[in-house]
Amino acid sequence: MKKYKTPILLFAIFEIIAISLWLATGNLFFLLNFTYIGLCIGVGSALQAAGKKYAREFVQFGVGAYMLVFLGLICRENMQIEGFWYYLLSGVFGAGVLHYLIAKIFGPLLFGRGWCGYCCWTAMILDLLPYKQPQGPRKKIGYIRYIVFALSLILVLLLFHFGKATKQTMFMIFLVGNLLYYVVGILLAIAFKDNRAFCKYICPITVFLKPMSYYSWLRVRCDEEKCIQCGKCLEVCPMDVEVNKDSRDRINATECILCNKCKKVCPVKALK
């Protein structure tokens, strides 16, 4: 049962959020939404703990497709960063803001960049591309994320300034924004031979995710006494994390998406 401690804990956390929000707002949506997401994450991480092959993909598609198709396309909620700015500036503390607070701002203190490894609908598609391990050195263009972050805020401020900040406009921005993310993400993955190039250099959400995940409770620990420096973990890591060090200051520490690929290849079980 010990190996199922984290899946049970994750499900319990989502259930507490689901019930608390339901009771606080009287809105049944919160109960169903967070119970569904918690179930996907709980079952997926239990499958992963049991060594099942496509456990992470199960969660990625279970949560990612639900958010993109149901919440985004059917319910017309803009869950991208522009939607977050829009709801925040409108003073609406609704699903969009809650989503950011839980998954991308405060949640990472607990589960790091679990969102990126298991729930993101952009990465859900990018991870299907053939460059699962980066085939070249990391580029020094990570500053682009700050430009995209600033542009997203400026765009929404301009919409408010010109009186165009409506739900309909935000839905159109959601459609165009997603399409753009997929096109840029796929082209960049092909150009750099790296499925996660978009995550490393462009994605504006990492401006929230990276600093918060530095302090994450859930993280891959390395027993440096056990490590034989074979380098296998470094070869398979899609995010170039120096995972054979235990320090929070290891290279690209805040890039870890908790995919657990490194743990699977470690011959001496030094990674936990």
* Footprint on this chain of ligand SF4 (rule: CB under 6 A): 116, 120, 122-123, 198-199, 203, 205-206, 220, 222, 227-233, 236-239, 241, 243-244, 256-262, 265-266, 268, 270-271
Q: Least distance in Å: CB of 44 to ligand SF4?
A: 15
Per DSSP, 94 falls in state S
Report d(CA 272, CA 269) in Å as an integer: 7
Q: What is the Cα Rg of the chain in Å?
A: 19
Smaller CB distance to ligand SF4: residue 165 or 255?
Answer: 255
* Residue nearer to ligand SF4 on the CB measure, 31 or 227: 227
In the complex, minimum distance from the CB of residue 259 to ligand SF4, in angstroms, rounded to a whole number: 4
Q: Which one, 16 or 268, has the nearer CB to ligand SF4? A: 268
Q: Which is nearer to ligand SF4, 22 or 174 (CB)?
A: 174
Contact 41, 34 (CB under 8 A): no
- Candidates 203, 52, 187, 65; CA nearest to 124 is 65
Instruction: Give 204-210 contacts, CB < 8 A, sequence gap 24+.
Output: 204/81, 204/145, 204/146, 204/148, 204/149, 204/152, 205/81, 205/104, 206/145, 207/145, 207/146, 207/149, 208/100, 208/104, 208/105, 208/108, 209/104, 209/108, 209/113, 209/115, 209/116, 209/254, 210/254, 210/255
Find the shortest distance in angstroms from Cβ 164 to ligand SF4: 26
Question: Which residues contact residue 145 at a Cβ distance below 8 angstroms, ignoring those fewer than 6 apart?
Answer: 201, 202, 203, 204, 206, 207
Nearer to ligand SF4, 156 or 259 (CB): 259
Contact present, 216 and 163 (Cβ < 8 Å): no
Q: Of 139 and 232, which has the nearer Cβ to ligand SF4?
A: 232
Q: What is the closest distance, in whole angstroms, from the C-beta atom of residue 33 to ligand SF4 in the complex?
A: 19
Taking the complex as a whole, the smallest distance from the CB of residue 166 to ligand SF4 amounts, in Å, to: 26
Least spacing, CB of residue 210 vs ligand SF4, in Å: 9
